[in-house]
Amino acid sequence: MKIWASIPWNSIRFRIVLAFLSITLPLIVLLIYNNSYSVNVIHNQVAMSTKDLFSIHMKQIDDQLSEVERYLMGLTLSDSNLLTMGDHVTDDRYIMAKSSISRKFDSDLIVYPYIDGFFVYSLPRQDLVDAFKNSVTYGELTNLRKAMAERIRELNDKPELLNAEWTVQKINGDYHILRLFRSGQVYIGAWVKADTMLTPLHDTRTNKADTVLIVDAAGKPLSGSRNYAEEGVDFTHGFQKYYLTGKNKDYLVVGETSSKGKFSLAVVIPDKQILENLPYLANAAKLVTAMAFAMLLFSIWSLRKVLLLPLRRLMVAMRMIGEGNLHMHIDESPAPDEFKIVNRTFNRMISQIEELKIHVYEEQLSKQQAELKHLQLQINPHFFMNSLNILYNLAQVKQFELIQDMTMCLVHYFRYMFQSNQPLVQLKDELQHIHYYLKIQQMRLPDRLITEIRVPAYLQETLIPPLILQTIVENTIKHSIQMDGAVTLSIEATLDMLEADPTVILFVRDTGKGFSDAALETIRSGKQMTDEKGAHIGLWNARERLRLQFGNNAWLDCYNGDPQGAIVEIGIPLHAKLEYEEEQ
């Protein structure tokens, strides 16, 4: 389903290619079908003519086998010499009967060209008399006699093994077709070699590439001039109809089954030999199909170069523009005139948009600088009232030394405040300013404020926005100091090298009651906190300044410590640079 959904059904590229394929592919399919149909017609014609020839030849074989059966059956019923061989007679009478049967077999054997020999076996004498053609060698004859004697004894010992048809038997490596009849104490039969049945077919076949075979009921070749086992030719499908077989279906098999025994005639014809009778059509179909594929590939390549590639470049450029990359322009590559006009217009439009964006961005930077200065100015009034109130109280109790210390702290404090219009200051200057500020607060809150500052020397020159720590420290003192008990306020700094850019992390901790859940939710959502006393903009102010000066490269987070207390965490790039300075 994912693949189906990812197909660009409505794109111009897909529809053009689909329309082109819908015209070309049916023509190619038609050519392939026409070629296949022509080949099937040739196969059918060759198979039918071969089937007719084999049917005639098999009928001749079956008719002659039937005649041999009638001939042998007639001998068992009417020949006295055959009956004599089965009786217990004198040796002279037995020899005369045996000689008479041998002469009869010799004279009758020439009538049956498909039969290689006749034989009679006497059970009382355990003796065999036979007649055979001159093509049989003495060694073959000896093995034949031995095999037939064994077969007769097997049938005699096991009457249930009937020999009611011509059976296949392997004798001395060759296959023979054998038929037996029993009359009293005599067995009479005939045999023929499998190769003998094929001789007339070898004489009638003009194509030397064909191979004629005798095949048994299990599809095993009994005789033939070639072994097709390595080619994967299969004869187990029967011979009711022709079929293609072999590893690559490159052989046509046609055959006919005998009605007298479990064997068949089969012919194996190489498919390439058949198609040689139709070279023009086969080659023309292949040529046209190859040309059609070549034209299809060439047309798709031309379509891709002339239309799809320029269209794709335009789509990629528009997609990148949509993602905010206004520096994307389409190269002046070779393309049709229409696409050249579109590309030049597109590039000119993008240039105009880029110039317009620069103007808008410069206006936004000017606005951000104005907002930043306004936020810095909002910090200054926080400390005035508390400082004057402390001096007034010290003057009343005539603590002149404390007034002097307080005055010097205020001098350093306000001198730094008046110089805080710089975009960035060193961390050590900010910490010195915090020192004077905390000293003033300790005068105001004796025994209730304990301070600790632990910042490594190698981080002292880190650039940070001015008064950013002042805002956090002032907010901490305002919300953590209680009427009873002391609060410890600590400032720490570490360097995080695991970030993409090295980042200095500042921690402002206290041991007060910590943030409430509602306060944490408001701070993290980027909203200003408001209660019955009004708006609290300290942390919001600090976070907004970081955003305006560093964008996403700086951050501020708040959470509670364990077991209590509030923690404000600030992350600033080690090599800090103002965002608007980079753009300028």
- The pLDDT tens digits for 176-199 are 888 888 888 888 999 888 888 887
Asked if the structure places residue 306 within a domain, the reply is no
Q: Strand 221-223's sheet: what is its strand order?
A: 221-223, 211-216, 263-270, 251-257, 243-245
Asked if the structure places residue 472 within a domain, the reply is yes
Asked if the structure places residue 322 within a domain, the reply is no
Q: What is the CATH number of the domain that holds 177?
A: 3.30.450
Asked if the structure places residue 490 within a domain, the reply is yes
Asked if the structure places residue 215 within a domain, the reply is no
Domain termination residue (choose one: 138, 171, 191):
191
Asked if the structure places residue 122 within a domain, the reply is yes
- The pLDDT tens digits for 543-560 are 888 887 888 889 999 999
Asked if the structure places residue 329 within a domain, the reply is no
What is the total count of domains within the chain? 2
Q: Is the overall model pTM greater than 0.75, yes or no?
A: no
DSSP result, 452-484:
EEE--GGGTT-EE-TTHHHHHHHHHHHHH--SS
> Cis before residue 563, ω within 30 degrees of 0?
yes
Domain termination residue (choose one: 158, 191, 224):
191
Domain termination residue (choose one: 191, 218, 249):
191
**Do residues 301 and 43 make contact, with C-beta atoms less than 8 angstroms apart?**
no
- Token pair for 147: 């095999």
Map 478-515 to HEC letters. HHHCCCCCCEEEEEEEEEECCCCCCEEEEEEEECCCCC
* Alpha-carbon distance values, 354 to 321, 322, 363 (Å): 11, 13, 14
227 in helix, strand or coil? coil
C-alpha angle with apex 81: 79 to 83, nearest 5 degrees?
A: 75
How many beta carbons lie within 10 A of that of residue 201, not counting itself?
17
Torsion of CA 83, 87, 91, 95, to 10 degrees: 20
Strand partners of residue 216: 263
Asked if the structure places residue 530 within a domain, the reply is yes
Q: What is the CATH number of the domain that holds 381?
A: 3.30.565.10
- The pLDDT tens digits for 396-431 are 888 888 888 888 988 888 888 777 667 888 999 999
- The pLDDT tens digits for 2-52 are 566 666 666 666 666 677 677 777 777 777 777 777 778 888 888 888 888
**Do residues 368 and 548 make contact, with C-beta atoms less than 8 angstroms apart?**
yes
d(CA 146, CA 30): 64
Q: Report strand pairing: 449-454 vs 487-496.
A: parallel
Domain span at 557: 365-583
pLDDT at 373: 55
Is a pLDDT exceeding 50 seen at residue 580? no
DSSP result, 98-149:
HHHHHHHHHHHHTT-TT--EEEEEETTTTEEEEEE-TTS-HHHHHHHHHHHH
- The pLDDT tens digits for 344-389 are 777 777 777 777 766 665 666 555 555 555 545 444 455 677 777 8
